[in-house]
Chains A and B, each alone.
Chain A
Amino acid sequence: MPSVRFRLNGVELEVDADPDRSLLDILRGHLGMTGPHFGCGAGECGACNVIVGDRAISACDTPLWSVADRDVTTIEGLGTSERPHPLQRAFIAEQALQCGYCVSGILMSAAALLKRNPSPTSREVKEALDRNLCRCGSHNRMVRAVLRAAEEMAAG
């Protein structure tokens, strides 16, 4: 079995698996990381978004080989209970979800946005999240939460 090396949430890994398998399948099935969620399997909903390098991508249609030697960050690597990411704090403060199934992917899209644009406008947040679907209608709260996190990060 060929193996693929990459860094997952800062930890070097070597995975023995068919390199054509999807990154999501490897994360959830092989590594037991259940933060990224399966939604469609076709890169259309964003529930499985993770950050590769500095971009949020859908893990369900990303082959394992394409992340070789790269940095992959999942929701598990964004923050912890003790040290939540400002986005996670903001989503709690704004109560920015209903069912929450889409949230881990949305947080990753938002985290990638704040890395490249630390003070986005509301329109820019909506554009950055436009490939993420939310069925419960929590969009406006999520946008508010991202803006709140950006402010908090700017304030240091």
Chain B
Amino acid sequence: MNQRAPSPPTLPVSLAANPKLSSWLKFSSSGQVTVSPGKVEIGQGIVTALAQIAADELDIDLSRVQMIRASTVVSPNEGVTSGSLSIQQSGRALRHACAEVRHILLQQAAERLGVGSEALHIEDGIISGPGNVRTSYWELADEVSLDRDATPGVTPKIATSRALAGHSVQRIDIPDKVLGRPRFIHDHALAGMLHGRVLRPEHARAKLRDLSEDGARAVAGLVAIVRDGSFAGVVSETEHGAEAALNALRKGATWSDGELLPDENDLASFLKAQPSESTVIGQKTVAAPGTVARTIRRQYTRPYIAHASIAPSCAMAQWDGDRVHVWTHSQGVYLLRADLALVLNLPVENITVEHLEGAGCYGHNAADDVALDAVLLAKSAGGRPVRVQWSRHGEMSDAPFGAAMAIEIEADLDAQGEIIDWRHSIWSNGHVARPGRAAQPALLAAFELQNPFPRMVSTNPPQANGGGGDRNSVPLYDFPSWHIESHRLTTMPIRTSALRTLGGQGNVFAIESILDEIAAEHGEDPVAFRLRHLRDERAKDVIRAVAARAGWKPEKQPGIGHGIGFGRYKNTGAYCAAIAEIEGAEEINVRKLTLAVDVGEAINPDGVINQIEGGAIQATSWVLKERVRFDRERITSTSWTEYPILRFSEVPDVEVEVIQRPDIDPVGAGEAALGPVTAAIANAVFDALGVRVRDLPITRDRIIAAIDLS
């Protein structure tokens, strides 16, 4: 097992960016510790895991930790809560900050009590020593200022002396949620709150030509009709009134033609025909290449996928002169603030952005867009707060989608059927158009104003940050040579931004599918084939663990198939292997998923299992059912009927094995399962039916087409 260096020479990245200790934690007079991370709860249990880390490092009971919601007033700026980085970034920073604060207070106690610090002992914040001397963090808190910068060199506790981290504790947000207490932004009422709704075109990017306001004006409770270019909306005393006024406004609107959308039935041709920017992602060469006996070339596609949060996006905003306060479920309060400042042409100091929990978002959905909507409508509310909530239709058509992808892999085989060269090419829009990162805003309403900002075209993060469309495209296997290339579209008729795993799901699906095919042609067991081509023991361990757990390979039964998939998220994060058991002929039923995962130190093992289970089930939904539908003019999958997701009766059994490695720095679990599960299901379909479906989702039509072709 790897050993962590005893004392890291530099500060954890989030702490280096926000070094002041008091920005992370404070002692309150009531025997509590308030902990203020920059990451936010999005249903992943991060707030509990961070509380565990803090309580452990400070030697206090978990119940003494009060977690503060992120806001631009009090929180360290930790960018965005995404990419399975919260434990890695916030967790490490907090662990270090708490270790240093503990050390500072211990020194102070030693001085006050006249005892060497090595003779002191801390239990639940009470510091005691020989001769019955004692004090506490809270007694000492006034004597010590934490308004000082963190320093490198403090060593957090070793794994074996942590009491909480590594154990499954109950999430602190769950009681509120099952008791129906108001906890979500949607349930938050502000004094004097008004309700707003925004009018958006049916056809893609149509412009508002004419707007008759008469109908809306006649609706009881109307406070204002707002129009700025193609951005239009209503403000009302009640939510009901806002809905009615919006309906009336819609009837009074005349729109221009929209812009042409691609042919949803030929996405690969569309993606490959668009102007694009090409980047070589990875290249490996070999001095003496082998002789190519044959080349296997396969194309894989995945469609646009909706975030499809169960809750429509929601925000509140309130103006006070030239200052505005925003309540949001955005994944990044500072980033949203930066974009709002661009649109409003205000200094960031005039804008306060405060987080309130939303429903699971699985990436960049409309959370940020609706915040700007609320800010713009609230300008006409005379200083009263305005709450805006999108409709289901809006959430499914105007929010960014996960980008469609076409992936081509060519594998050169030698005479023995061994892979001697590997080429992987991706055509896709960029996978990220998050706010706060560019000189232009990424928020929908900004593109609709009378003086519009240009529509942002999504980009890809660099490989050093895990890449975007190219995420997980560099193989983890020991092929002698490879060439990996990404073609990022520079046009974007369908709006895309970050969806869970970015390109990781598509690339792992492609790699693990063609590998399965090559192994089968080679007459080799797919588990053995993968193990033979891996050098990383942690990778092999998750594959061995999942194979053992699933009893690989179960005896062949008619109509039943088993398949495996493996990946290490971003090639630097969590290791995950999945085995799918499916049943079916034309309709596929995923009966069981078995997974093994290695996230290093699992802070809250049940939390890790919950995330892996959730990722596995969501991936099953993507693979079997999900595809954003559109004709040439508009998005047509605007309800749950047209965009079905997996239901209770269709959900597979899921078993998860966590390989606990207490001495290895923790990484996130939220996205590890999706690529491996996608591939495992596709490979199980082949095992059951003898056909390869290379276009997602794997529907009845696609299976029939594949059978007809074979």
Q: Which residues of A contact B (CB under 8 A)?
A: 21, 25, 28-29, 32, 34-35, 37-42, 44-45, 47, 74-76, 78-81, 84, 88, 91-92, 95, 97-104, 107, 125-127, 129-130, 132-143
Q: Which residue of A lies closest to B652 (CB)?
A: A140
Name the A residues within 8 Å of B180 (CB-CB). Answer: 34-35, 74-76, 78, 104, 107
Establish whether residues B648 and A130, one from each chain, have CB atoms under 8 Å apart when the complex forms.
yes
Cα–Cα distance between A40 and B311 once the two chains are bound (Å)? 8
Chain B min CB distance to A33 (Å): 9
Q: Which of B273-281, B337-345, B613-621 contacts A (4 or more CB under 8 A)?
A: B613-621
Q: Name the interface residues of B590-619: CB closer than 8 Å to any CB of A.
A: 606-607, 610-611, 613-618
Establish whether residues B615 and A103, one from each chain, have CB atoms under 8 Å apart when the complex forms.
no
Question: Counting CB contacts under 8 A, is B360 at the interface?
Answer: yes
Question: Per a CB cutoff under 8 Å, which of B43, B178, B607, B649 touches A136?
Answer: B43
Chain A min CB distance to B309 (Å): 6
Total interface residues in chain B, CB < 8 Å:
57
Name the A residues within 8 Å of B360 (CB-CB). Answer: 98-99, 101, 135-136
Query: Can you list 14 A-B pairs, Cβ within 8 angstroms, ordered by A?
Result: A38-B312, A41-B391, A80-B179, A81-B175, A81-B179, A84-B178, A100-B359, A101-B310, A101-B358, A132-B648, A134-B310, A136-B614, A137-B615, A139-B646
Q: Which residue of A lies closest to B41 (CB)?
A: A99
Establish whether residues B189 and A45, one from each chain, have CB atoms under 8 Å apart when the complex forms.
no
Establish whether residues A45 and B615, one from each chain, have CB atoms under 8 Å apart when the complex forms.
no
Chain A min CB distance to B244 (Å): 10
Cα–Cα distance between A143 and B187 once the two chains are bound (Å)? 26
Establish whether residues B184 and A101, one from each chain, have CB atoms under 8 Å apart when the complex forms.
yes
**Can you list the 3 inter-chain pairs with the closest CB atoms, starting with the nearest?**
A99-B43, A137-B617, A35-B180
Name the A residues within 8 Å of B202 (CB-CB). Answer: none
Establish whether residues B174 and A92, one from each chain, have CB atoms under 8 Å apart when the complex forms.
yes
Cα–Cα distance between A80 and B189 once the two chains are bound (Å)? 21
Establish whether residues A29 and B359, one from each chain, have CB atoms under 8 Å apart when the complex forms.
no
Establish whether residues B648 and A129, one from each chain, have CB atoms under 8 Å apart when the complex forms.
yes
Chain A min CB distance to B238 (Å): 6
Name the B residues within 8 Å of A135 (CB-CB). Answer: 308-310, 359-360, 362, 618, 645
Binary A-proximity of B613-645 (CB < 8 A = 1, otherwise 0): 111111001000000000000000001110001
Chain A min CB distance to B533 (Å): 30
Q: Name the interface residues of B168-202: CB closer than 8 Å to any CB of A.
A: 170-171, 173-175, 177-180, 182-184, 186-187, 189
Chain B min CB distance to A110 (Å): 11
Name the A residues within 8 Å of B178 (CB-CB). Answer: 84, 88, 91-92, 97, 100, 103, 107
Name the B residues within 8 Å of A79 (CB-CB). Answer: 179
Binding site secondary structure of chain A: loop
Name the B residues within 8 Å of A95 (CB-CB). Answer: 170-171, 174, 606-607, 610
Question: Per a CB cutoff under 8 Å, which of A81, A100, A139 touches B174?
Answer: A100
- Knowing that A25-B240, A44-B639 touch, tell me 10 more A-B residue pairs with CB under 8 angstroms: A38-B186, A38-B312, A42-B639, A45-B640, A99-B310, A100-B174, A130-B649, A133-B310, A137-B617, A141-B613
Cα–Cα distance between A21 and B239 once the two chains are bound (Å)? 12
Cα–Cα distance between A29 and B613 once the two chains are bound (Å)? 35
Cα–Cα distance between A75 and B182 once the two chains are bound (Å)? 11
Chain B min CB distance to A72 (Å): 14
Establish whether residues B618 and A100, one from each chain, have CB atoms under 8 Å apart when the complex forms.
no
Establish whether residues B177 and A103, one from each chain, have CB atoms under 8 Å apart when the complex forms.
yes
